[in-house]
Every structure is written in structure tokens, then in C-alpha cells.
Amino acid sequence: MNRGFFPPAEPVSRLIDEFNKLPGIGPKSAARLAYHLLRMPEAEARSLAEAIIAVKDKIVLCSLCQNITDSDPYAICRSKQRDQNKICIVEEPLDILALERTGQYQGLYHVLHGVISPMEGIGPDDLKIRELLGRLKSGKVEEVILATNPNLEGEATAMYLQRLLSPSGIRMTSLARGLPVGGDLEYADEVTLGRALEGRREV
């Protein structure tokens, strides 16, 4: 500033700041995005702004699966084509997106909205576990798939749920651990490789 540094025009600086707050967007990408928006046709920029506002105005949590939805209950919970006897428990709404992309799961979901993390002061009561227990009471559910992330906190949360639900006698499964498809044995870490060996199957 002292040497007469001129920042960009105020609305541009402000937009750069706003983009910079988003995850994975550093100051340089933020500037690039802001200048890209300046060159975009007005209608397209407006359409982005409106999409941001719409998402805040129209989105609620599904009273059943706790996924984000614009109509409660969420489409999957309402669907007659989905297997009502299976519930797949995930940490975040994004995980549902990933599982749906496989096209291989036909059951229902339940979003915890986080994991148990004593370090961050997040306990079971901060997650949507009470809502899960409510859904399991119906007695219709035959299998619960614990699909938390394969890391320390995800595994701890799965373990907690396993203990909590075991008295119910519902079948509990977890996603297979092993080598990622397209991956390289040479680069696999020893824990993954160990789990891949442990879970080996007849060919």
C-alpha cells in the first residue's frame, strides 16, 4: 500500500474475497474466477447467483434420511423402487451422491451429518443418531450398512453404531476394504494391502 499499490475495483475485490472463503479456492483461483465472471454474459452470472440463493431458500433436511432435499421426504425415501429393508449410513450428503453414482445400491440412506470426534468436541448426540434409532424401531429394516469413511473417526463412529445397534439383532455390514480399482499394488499402503489380503476371495 505504501508504495501506491492499487487494488482492483471494490466490487471485484469483494468478489475475490468471497470466492477465497470457499474450500479449495486460494487467492489466485479466486481472482481468476472473479475475472472470469466479469467476462461472462450477465445472464450466466445472474444464474449462478440465483442458484446460490435458491439452494439456501429451498433446501431442508429430509425428516427421514436427514439428507438435504427440496421436498420432504427426500425422493429416495419416497420411492417405491427402493428396498425399504436396507439402510446405508453415511457421514455426509455427498457420500450419497457417490454411492448413487455406482448404480449398485437400491436401499435407503441415513446421513449422520458428521462423525464422532472427541478432538473437535463432537459426540454421538451431535449426529443424527436419534433419528436413525427412530427409523429402526419400525422393525422393517433388515440390514444396516455402515458406510462411514475408512479413516480413524469414521471407523470409530461405525464401531459406536455397531455396539449401539447390536442388541436390535439387525444385520450389520460395512463396505469392503481393499485395493482401489485402477490402483497399483506397489503404491498401496500396508494397511490397505493388509485389509485386501484379509478380505481376499476365491476367483
Residue 163 makes contact with a second copy by CB under 8 A: no
The residues with which 151 forms a beta bridge, in sequence order, are: none
**Cβ 126 vs Cβ 114: under 8 Å:** yes
Report the site for a second copy in 106-145 (rule: CB under 8 A).
106
For the record, the C-alpha cell of 24 comes out as 479449495
- SS3 at position 199: coil
Judged by CB under 8 A, which stretch of 79-87, 119-127, 134-142, 171-179 contacts a second copy?
79-87
**Cβ 168 vs Cβ 145: under 8 Å:** no
Report the site for a second copy in 40-69 (rule: CB under 8 A).
42, 44-59, 68-69
Cβ-proximal residues to 22 (8 Å cutoff; 6+ apart), any chain: 30
Report the site for a second copy in 94-113 (rule: CB under 8 A).
94, 96-97, 100-101, 103-104, 106
Cβ-proximal residues to 171 (8 Å cutoff; 6+ apart), any chain: 142, 143, 144
Task: Choose, by CB under 8 A, the member of 19, 88, 127, 144 that binds a second copy.
Answer: 19
Residue ranges in contact with a second copy by CB under 8 A:
3-12, 14-15, 17-19, 21-24, 29, 31-38, 42, 44-59, 68-71, 74-76, 79, 81-82, 92-94, 96-97, 100-101, 103-104, 106
